[in-house]
Amino acid sequence: MESAGPNIEVRAQDLHHKCSSGFLAINVGISYGNGHTVPSVPRLGRYEALARLLMGNEHIQRLAAYQNAVYALWHPEAYIYYKENLDKLHAHHPEFSPSFRRSIMPTVAFNIGKNAGTTIRRAATSSFGS
């Protein structure tokens, strides 16, 4: 990511979002939140190349595989629920390709910058089986 850094022009308005501010947050993958009635893939515009760079990074793909294995062990019922439903989604909508080679998780958020962080946030409508 550091090698891509000098080539990225970040706009001030992109540093302010609902989870925090002062850093860039890029959401990659399938989204069914924010009031959408059908699944969609966020448009990344000026950050598309950075998203491709990050998603193609072998270390990020390895972290995703590790997270996938841990989630399957920690909550197998939820893992099976998500896997079965995401398999159906991918079969019905082939344009929604999986985000990771070895993980079922459909979405990732990259928090980028010196002040990057995250907050504990739970969306009741995004939870398992809702």
Model pLDDT for residues 21-30, shown as the tens digit of each residue: 677 778 888 8
Q: What is the pLDDT of residue 15?
A: 67
Structure-token match 């062990």, residue found: 73
Where would I find the H helices in 1-130?
Answer: 48-55, 58-74, 76-92
State the pLDDT confidence band at 120, using cuts at 50, 70 and 90: low
- CA dist 119 and 105 (Å) reads 20
Q: What is the pLDDT of residue 19?
A: 60
Q: What is the pLDDT of residue 124?
A: 54
Q: Which domain holds residue 103?
A: 5-126
Q: How many domains does the chain have?
A: 1
| Per-residue model confidence as pLDDT tens digits over 12-50 | 666 666 666 677 778 888 887 667 778 888 788 878 888
- CA dist 68 and 114 (Å) reads 27
| Per-residue model confidence as pLDDT tens digits over 52-89 | 888 999 999 999 999 999 999 999 999 999 999 999 99
